[in-house]
Structure 1
């Protein structure tokens, strides 16, 4: 059985927005964990984590020279910053939600 770890123990994140599109960049603290993140932090996992928002398409862009990934999530901000009645219209808290993901521990 594989032990699970919390993503925030291995990476940090930064969120941004453009209209109704959320961008979350996740960077490994240790470059040695980049390959592990590449295998475990999939589009499917991110989409599942944010599914309660009734999101659209999720795309992942690899940033190997920076040790991270940028996830672009459509329809994640309840209509966008100016249209959303939500408390966090910019989606900053969604980066923290993502950092709370439980993943299989790196080898």
Structure 2
């Protein structure tokens, strides 16, 4: 299944760092995404854009994972030539991941 079937996502940015939240619709699915959506897997999923590390923060009471993607926005909003300088589409891209 794709992540979008059991979760939704939001993206934020600060400079060259993207912040992606992954939030399950049903708390029963939290352990599944915790097991399947690792920092290594997220880095591999975005291998064409992430130049730095991926850190994951777990928020079990919210049924969420938060990923911080370092060096992922082409230098940041004021330096990037990307069409999506803020990286807002990254949340939709993550939801396409198969688990």
TM class by smaller structure: over 0.9
TM-score, normalization: structure 1? 0.90
Equivalent residue, structure 2, for 1:34: 30
In structure 1, the gaps of 5 or more residues are none
Quote the offset at 1:55 in angstroms.
2.4
In structure 2, the gaps of 5 or more residues are none
Equivalent residue, structure 2, for 1:47: 43
Q: 1:63/1:101 Cα in 2 relative to 1: closer, same or farther (>3 Å)?
A: same
Matched, 1:23 2:9: no
Instruction: Name the CA distance, whole Å, in 2 between partners of 1:51 and 1:82.
Output: 22
Q: Which is greater in Rg?
A: 1
- 1:74-85 paired onto structure 2 within 5 Å: 74-85=70-81
Equivalent residues of 1:47, 1:55 under 8 A apart: no
Equivalent residue, structure 2, for 1:64: 60
Matched, 1:99 2:95: yes
Matched residue count = 99
TM-score, normalization: structure 2? 0.97
